[in-house]
Amino acid sequence: MALKNFKFNVIEKNNFARTGVIETHRGNIQTPAFMPVGTQATVKACLIDDIIKTGSEIILSNTYHLMIRPGVDRIISAGGLHKFMNCKLPILTNSGGFQVMSLSKLNKIDREKGAIFNSHVDGKKFILSPEESIRIQKGLDSDIVMIMDECPKKTTDYNLIKKSMELSIYWAERSKTAFGINPHKGLFGIVQGGLFKDLRIKSLNALTKINFEGYAIGGLAVGETQKEMFKVLDDIKDVMPVNKPRYLMGVGTPTDILGAVKRGVDMFDCVMPTRSGRTGLAFTWKGRLNIKNNKYKNDNTPLDSNCSNLSLNKYSKNYLNHLFNTNEILGSTLLTLHNVNFYQELMSSIRKNINKGTFNKFHDEYIDKL
């Protein structure tokens, strides 16, 4: 069977909020979409078949972590990332730039060489150039590939953000050249520029001239307030290409997602539902709850009585409280699946309301409740 070319089509618009479909040869992705994070070739505590049953249509894996452990050559020898982790879904891999900033020791940025850093695991020295990042992602055989960028820590230093943004544009050009031509995969540019409108627009304009299959908004979820994040999205929503998917990296909470969809974003990823699930925090349509709280010891109702998916409504708060307070692994699995399932229910409801023209009402009803 011939491979399907990478495509994106907008289906419906409700002001800036919109639904669409990303077509890949491994399957279609309904947008707005949330991507569970499979950092090290696994969505922690879950079987990939169960992640699929939540309605997830794409997952994210991490170039930085996979290049360190187990190494790209080992994954290539297994036939690529999909075969390595037994995943039939499309996979997006990030470039590693954010992790170089947030995790690695003694990192140094060199315009020509790339990011020079020591592994957070064993201190081993790595050099990650735009070309090397693309080479690794090609080896992983992911379906959506991210350019190499520099993701600076949050700062109000305009000149520092400007310099970083300009470096990211240069690396974007090099990433595009290294990627070459592959109509079956999507290469996404990453808009940088901190909280500064002029830098964001300058970055976006430069990236659209290079021409990518999608555009991510990077450099957020690094400590700014939700209001600051929404302002950045408001600043650029009128100039984002309308015929390309828009991906807000590393975001976020249910209310982050609602507000970003209202401003035209199509794709999201975040460790929050899975990491929170492993620590006892559950997301529900009535808000968050900490299942380890003593008040759930004798509560024999499920987290969501309306959710029959994966039989999650067969497990009571009482039982989940017991699992977490005795450090049983099953608790992490059940709550992680509950949270991922909730996020996918949220995305499905968002899409339905956009298509019906009722998204603003839906947004207003849940923006505070969630």
Per-residue pLDDT of the chain (370 residues; tens, 9 = 90+): 578 999 999 999 999 999 999 999 999 999 999 999 999 999 999 999 999 999 999 999 999 899 999 999 999 999 999 999 999 999 999 987 777 766 666 678 899 999 888 888 888 888 899 999 999 999 999 999 999 999 888 889 999 999 999 999 999 999 999 999 999 999 999 999 999 999 999 999 999 999 999 999 999 988 999 999 999 999 999 999 999 999 999 999 999 999 999 999 999 999 999 999 999 999 999 999 999 999 999 999 999 999 999 999 999 999 999 999 999 999 999 999 999 999 999 999 999 999 999 999 999 999 999 9
Distance CA 98, CA 115 (A): 11
Query: What is residue 119's predicted lDDT score, i.e. its pLDDT?
Result: 84
Query: What is residue 121's predicted lDDT score, i.e. its pLDDT?
Result: 85
Domains of the chain, first to last: 19-270 (3.20.20.105), 277-337 (no CATH)
Residue 165, both tokens: 């943004």
Rounded to 10 degrees, the C-alpha dihedral 355/241/172/98 comes to -40
Residues 204 and 242: beta-carbon distance below 8 Å: no
**Cα 135 to Cα 63, 140, 141, 143, distances in angstroms:** 10, 9, 10, 14
Query: What is residue 95's predicted lDDT score, i.e. its pLDDT?
Result: 82
Residue 302, both tokens: 């499920």
Query: What is residue 210's predicted lDDT score, i.e. its pLDDT?
Result: 98
DSSP one-letter code for 77: H
Query: What is residue 105's predicted lDDT score, i.e. its pLDDT?
Result: 62
Query: What is residue 1's predicted lDDT score, i.e. its pLDDT?
Result: 54
Q: At what angle do helices 197-210 and 158-179 cross, to 10 degrees?
A: 10
Distance CA 76, CA 6 (A): 22
How many CB atoms sit inside 10 A of residue 333's CB? Answer: 18
Backbone angles phi, psi at 248, to 5 degrees: -95, 110
Q: Which residues contact 25 (CB under 8 A, 6 or more apart)?
A: 3, 4, 5, 6, 143, 184
